[in-house]
Amino acid sequence: MTAELVEKGLENASHTKTVDVGRGVLASSGTIIRDELLEGGRKALLVADERTWKAAGADVERSLREAGADLAEPMVYPGSPTLYASYEHCEEIRERLRETDALAVAVGSGTLNDLSKLASGELDRPYAVVATAASMDGYTGFGAPMTKDGVKITMPCPAPRVVVFDLDVAAAAPRPMASSGYGDLSAKIPAGADWMLADAVGVDPIHPLAWELVQTGVRGALSRPAELAAGVPEAYEGLCEGLVLSGLAMQVAQGTRPASGAEHYFSHLWELDHLGSELDPPLSHGFKVAIGTLAMVGFYEKFLERDVAGLDIDAVVSRWPSWDEVEDDIRRVMSGPLIDKGINETREKYVDAAGIRARIEKLVQAWPQLRAKLAGQLMPAKELQLALASAGAPSVPSDIGLTPEDVRAAFPRAMYYRSRYTVLDVARELGWFEEIVDDVFAPGGLWQ
């Protein structure tokens, strides 16, 4: 079934044409990249760091040479300190691509892939990626999360034309890499619930194929956390395929909605707070997403305990704040460049009292069936917490250097961080936001 889904995703993807996931596929990477990327004898520029070069880069170079490909001198960054996804590095790669008239072949995971992706996109050139770890779902995704001018943003750029994902290489990667990918994939659970809510109130309709690609196999991909932590290659297959399908879904939907909801905003905010930046390697995206995911699953549990069907809609509408009041609150909870970002993003999803009434009426009407669907989509927070711990991923705030109070403080900032409509917005519109946050962090709760 997974192979059929990958094929269906590729048929409808905007940019990726070839995905090769399996054991030992690194040996044929040169032929695949030559045939699918290097049309007309174009030159390849391998982009790696010292660690990923040792893990796969030298083998990819050898395979390309054996396939008769023309190669530029590779760009190999130091293995330490860990390369950071900042726009300055993207510019370095872009200029080397321009000078050599080459096409990029990224050999690595998140950062190397994103830098090569954006550099290639800015030159309107296709590229390939050879994955070295099951650490995130961006291999087949478009857009590159990048730090620029003090803000973490996803900059638009096409997905790779070719993805090669050798399971033996992934299984040999440092264990925290797969744990990070497990955390990133677990986010699809609350992200899917957020999309259900947005669809129900008419804000963001569900794309059926994108939904199928992400959600069909996510439970199975998350079902072997202990084996994943033990480095069993077969356990990596479901995780790697789940991550690939997530990226293809983003291409199909032409947006990141299938793969992320409010849980991802916690990670972005903590990255901008420089959480773990003194570490080498720094805390991964997936590690921070894991805690954001638990926070949101806990929030959903408390949200679903409330009586949506019995709402006094008139009372809710009468309490709805004006835009000026919302903007004042954004200025209170945000700081620095995030103030303007929060204002701009929140303004996109803000509606007046009539708009709120329309949304709430749709929610109340849909609630009996919607609540059951949401309950089926979500996992109990304690169950997910145990699975994350078994996979070696963070399962309590202290695992990433935070306190429960730090996580609590991120909730209002996460609500304002992006224009995407999530359960945080629903709770705010119903007047429940602060109360639910209080419930999540009450004694005896998830974090106690």
Domains parsed from the chain with CATH numbers: 2-173 (3.40.50.1970), 178-204+258-440 (1.20.1090)
Does residue 324 register a pLDDT over 60? yes
For the chain, what percent of residues have pLDDT higher than 70? 98
The per-residue pLDDT for 82 is 85
pLDDT tens by residue, 146-158: 888 777 778 899 9
Rounded mean pLDDT of 123-131? 98
Rounded mean pLDDT of 6-22? 94
Rounded mean pLDDT of 404-413? 96
The per-residue pLDDT for 146 is 87
Please state the pTM of the whole predicted model: 0.91
The per-residue pLDDT for 280 is 66
Rounded mean pLDDT of 181-190? 96
Does residue 1 register a pLDDT over 60? no
Distance CA 59, CA 84 (A): 24
Rounded mean pLDDT of 320-341? 96
pLDDT tier, 271 (very low <50, low <70, confident <90, very high otherwise): confident
What is the average pLDDT score of the chain?
94
User: Is the bond preceding residue 81 a cis peptide, omega within 30 degrees?
Assistant: yes
Does residue 277 register a pLDDT over 70? no
Weakest-pLDDT range from 145-149, 158-162, 361-365, 400-404 = 145-149
The per-residue pLDDT for 359 is 97
pLDDT tens by residue, 414-446: 999 999 999 999 999 999 999 999 999 999 888
